[in-house]
Amino acid sequence: MAEASRIFQTTLLPTFSSLQKPRLVSHHPPNLAHKKYQTIHCLSSSVSTSDDITTAKAATTVTQMVPWGCDIDSSDNAAALQRWLSNNGLPDQKMAIDKVEVGERGLVALKNIRKGEKLLFVPPSLVITADSEWSCPEAGEVLKQYSVPDWPLLAIYLISEANLQKSSKWSNYISALPRQPYSLLYWTRAELDRYLEASQIRERAIERITNVIGTYNDLRLRIFSKYPDLFPEEVFNLETFKWSFGILFSRLVRLPSMDGKVALVPWADMLNHSCEVETFLDYDKSSQGVVFTTDRQYEPGEQVFISYGKKSNGELLLSYGFVPREGTNPSDSVELSLSLKKSDKSYKEKLEALKKHGFSASQCFPVRVTGWPVELLAYAYLAVSPPSMSSKFEELAAAASNKTTIKKDVGFPEIEEQALQFILDSCESSISKYTKFLQASGSMDLDVTSPKQLNRRLFLKQLAVDLCNSEQRILFRAQNVLRRRLRDIRSGELRALKIFDGFRNWFK
């Protein structure tokens, strides 16, 4: 079983297009005083159309935590959620919420569970989708008029229902959600630069945070500012969007049997991840509920797991906020950055070929413990190819982007050594960055005058150290493979040269 981070687990950002499996969020952020937000006022007729909020203000507004959810995963919250689910149609379960080692809180087997058994059966009435009924129908109608996509629509829905607190149907569910998880949405740019400096996940994190801010600013300018009575800024602001998107990124699932509909599934999102299972959630038409089918048996007291997908440790950190214990994730990989050299005589021609296929001079490719993709090798061949191979530039660029009909095996024996050396140089350059970070990680200037901030910094550093160790481990393996291959090539060339010299001396 893949262990979660040795200290905590968090929620992080997946891409808008790549929806992930749900997981329990079980962090204990500092318990601060919270401002109570105003209730949304639903209008029966007209709405205001004032547009006096600026984009700049959106980026600097409310910095407090939201007044919803829970700070601590208490047994009372868990019991209240379980009662609410049962009272609203959730059938008797073979699992219950309990404290666990992996995830701190998860679903634990109450009875013997067989391999191949269907569990959960969460009815559609307890599933939140873009079609869910709004407590404030006017707000929902406005958003549909503007054709707001499912992701931001659900984010707004969650904020709207959370703000109503006890008046919302989903009050008990929202009360069990984390108030402020240690999400990458809450990492500052300085923290990303400092703790993720060696990993390519840093760039993806920055991109996703930018996407959330951009989505909020777009909605604020196009919709919220025109309907301030329905979407008051004290409720619908950047901080509440960080919270709602953080919940969606860590818990939203796509249900294939419901035409790929995305949904929040209370109860099911208490399940934690294991790299050793492959079962996932889906809608079961026969039982008319969201279920999963176990791929192993469980005894009473054992935690029951699902899979969030075959993801690398970096992707799990990015999307869910935990790093499996080093060496336990068979799907682990690291992003290796390759770049054309500007000193290359054919730099412009190669760059032009790459641009035709959506690539730039620098590109990242996944390296796994089991090897690297043919696209990476094709890029390396392109990077080291001499001007005499200019007719092959387009073909190699297409192969690097996986937009080609040529056979997968890319091979040019005359430049294979240079291509492998190019990959090895990039690999060793990345290893040096990890080594530098790991060596410095034991002597960071922690602020001991602020225990709460100290805990946060220790937590972030631990996540970064766990990730760097796992990614560096893969690079070390790739380095060894490359060195052996280069040694074989060079020893073969040396043998051939000796044979040639022998023949030459014989003829003399």
- Residue 288 covered by a domain: yes
Task: In whole angstroms, give the CA distance from residue 4 to residue 349.
Answer: 46
Inside any domain, residue 464: yes
pLDDT tens digits along 270-286? 999 999 999 999 999 99
Other beta carbons within 10 angstroms of residue 229's beta carbon come to 15
Single-letter amino acid, residue 218: D
Residues 158 and 241: their CA atoms lie apart, in Å, by 9
Is 186 assigned to a binding site?
no
Given 264, 286, 320, the domain boundary residue is 320
For 258-278, b where at least 16 C-beta lie within 10 A, e where not — what string? beebbbbbbbbbbbbbbbebe
pLDDT tens-digit readout, 246-260: 899 889 999 999 888
Q: Is a pLDDT exceeding 80 seen at residue 180? A: no
Number of compact structural domains in the chain: 2
Final residue in a domain of this structure, among 320, 353, 381: 320
> Are 220 and 344 in the same domain?
no
Work out the mean pLDDT of the chain and round it to a whole number: 82
271: Cβ contacts below 8 Å, ≥ 6 apart: 22, 23, 24, 106, 107, 292, 304, 305, 306
> What does the CA dihedral 293, 296, 297, 300 come to, rounded to 10 degrees?
-80
77 annotated as a binding-site residue = no
User: Binding residue per annotation — 227?
Assistant: no
pLDDT band at 506 (very low <50, low <70, confident <90, very high): very low
| Residue 213, in any domain of the structure | yes
Whether residues 138 and 283 fall in one domain: yes
Mark whether 166 and 278 lie in a shared domain. Answer: yes
Q: CA 142 to CA 401: how far, in whole Å?
A: 41
> Are 301 and 377 within one domain?
no
Last residue of a domain, one of 276, 294, 320: 320
Decide which of 67 and 359 is more confident.
Answer: 359
Q: 325 lies in a domain?
A: no
Regarding whether 339 and 305 lie in a shared domain, the answer is: no
Q: Are residues 129 and 235 in the same domain?
A: yes
Q: Is residue 17 part of a domain?
A: no
Same domain, 89 and 177: yes
216 carries a ligand binding annotation = no
Kindly tell me if the per-residue pLDDT of 15 is higher than 70. no
User: Does the annotation place 273 within a ligand binding site?
Assistant: yes
pLDDT, tens only, 431-471: 999 999 999 887 666 555 555 566 778 888 888 999 999 99
> Of the ranges 99-108, 134-143, 344-353, 496-505, which one carries the lowest mean pLDDT score?
496-505
Is 347 marked as binding a ligand? Answer: no
Please indicate, yes or no, if residue 41 is contained in any of the structural domains.
no
- Supply the CATH number for residue 107's domain: 3.90.1410.10
Return the minimum-mean-pLDDT range out of 7-21, 176-190, 296-310, 323-337: 7-21
Structural domain contains residue 326: no
Q: How far apart are CA 104 and CA 122, in angstroms?
A: 23
Q: Are residues 341 and 307 part of one domain?
A: no
Please indicate if the annotation marks 222 as binding a ligand: no
175 and 213 in a common domain: yes
Question: 311 with 358, same domain?
Answer: no
Residue 223 CA to residue 216 CA, distance in Å, equals 10
Same domain, 462 and 437: yes
Is residue 228 located within the same domain as residue 345? no
Contact assessment for residue 34 and residue 78, using Cβ atoms and an 8 Å cutoff: no
Domain range spanning residue 150? 75-320
Q: Residue 371: give its domain's CATH number.
A: 3.90.1420
Asked if residue 406 is part of any domain, the answer here is yes
Q: Where are the alpha helices (DSSP H) in 18-110?
A: 55-60, 75-87
Indicate whether 421 pLDDT > 70.
yes
